[in-house]
Structure 1
């Protein structure tokens, strides 16, 4: 049901609709439902990490950084881009981890995030 969710630009209504559908399926199966917002957020951030480490000759990198808009701006609100969605997801993730006091511990343990001392 979440195949390809790493590349979705989702609105709150989309997330609620997905959560409702998954909850209904799990209720029919007699299981506890998963929090789909967390699942999608985790997969988006994981894919964003892969894309950020890619070389510039890879299609995923080229397409994710491509700005299709021309010189004339369309009327109304600008469309939400994948990069904007990732930025919002990172803010949510950092806020939640800071509230739990876990910010940076997992990456430091694996040597990805260097210690400041």
Structure 2
């Protein structure tokens, strides 16, 4: 299918599809007239890409894991492993954000919130 039809069926813009093609997430063949021709299975793949992005996966992660998932004997198990790994990343980020919030809160009213904070004396 041509890029216009793929855009209509996937809900993505032609520019987004071209970008995904540039970074290697999708591939289309060039016809003799220069038009791109994409296989039908590109539509569900683009839906997967959009869902994965919504779940916090980067395009690099999607590209890297896409091949793994296609070749996995048990896709559900492979997806579960990816989700578990992403949960660990999210948990670590939440801890970092909580620490950052505490640091910012400690600086409220300090007069110079960007200066080095002196630790409280040990008591």
Q: RCO greater where, 1 or 2, for CA within 8 Å and sep 6 or more?
A: 1
Q: Same fold (TM over 0.5)?
A: no
Shorter-chain TM-score: what band? under 0.3
Q: TM-score, normalised by structure 2?
A: 0.23
Query: Larger radius of gyration, structure 1 or 2?
Result: 2
